[in-house]
Structure 1
Amino acid sequence: MRDVGIVMPVYKQNHDYLKLALKSVLEQSFTNYYFVVVSDGAPADHIEIIKRETEGDGRVHLIEKEKNEGIATALNTGFNYLQKFESIRYLTWVSSDNVYDPEFIEKHRNALENAPENVGLSYSNFHHIDHKGTILREQFSNYQGQPKETLLDNCFIGASFMYTSKAAAKTGGYQLWPVEDYEYWLRLTEHCDIVYIPEVFAAYRVNSPLSVSAQLRHSKEQHRRFRHALNLAKLEARKRRNIPCELTVIYPVSDGSLQTIDQLERLLEQTFSNYQITVLDTTPDQSASKALKGIEDPRLTFLHIPGASEDTAILTGIQNADAPLSMLYGKGAFPSNHVMLNRLFHYYLQYKARGADAKHIIFFVNDKGQVSHRAVLPENEPAFGQIYHTETLDGILKK
Structure 2
Amino acid sequence: MSKKYVIEEALLNCQYGNCTCKLKPWDDRHIYIGDKLIASECDIGKLCSNGIFGSCRSPFVASVKREYRDGMKSQQQLVLCNDIPCEMSVRLQWQNAKDDVFFGGYKAVLDDGWTICETGLGIISLVDSGQTQEALIQEMQERLLQLNSIVDDYISKHGISPKQKSALMDSVLLWNGYLGQDICWDYKSNETNREFCSYLEKTNPNLFNYFERGLYIDDGENGPIDLSYMMGVNKALNGTKDEWECVSQTIAEDRGMYNGYLEACRQERGKNSYELLNNFLNSYSDPDYDSYGRYESYVNYPPQDWRDRYCRDQGYDPNELSVTEQNIGVLHNMITGRIQNHMPYNPEEDPKLGDIVQEQSRNANRVADVFLGALREDLKKGE
Structure (1 or 2) with the greater helix fraction: 2
TM-score (norm 2): 0.29
TM-score (norm 1): 0.28
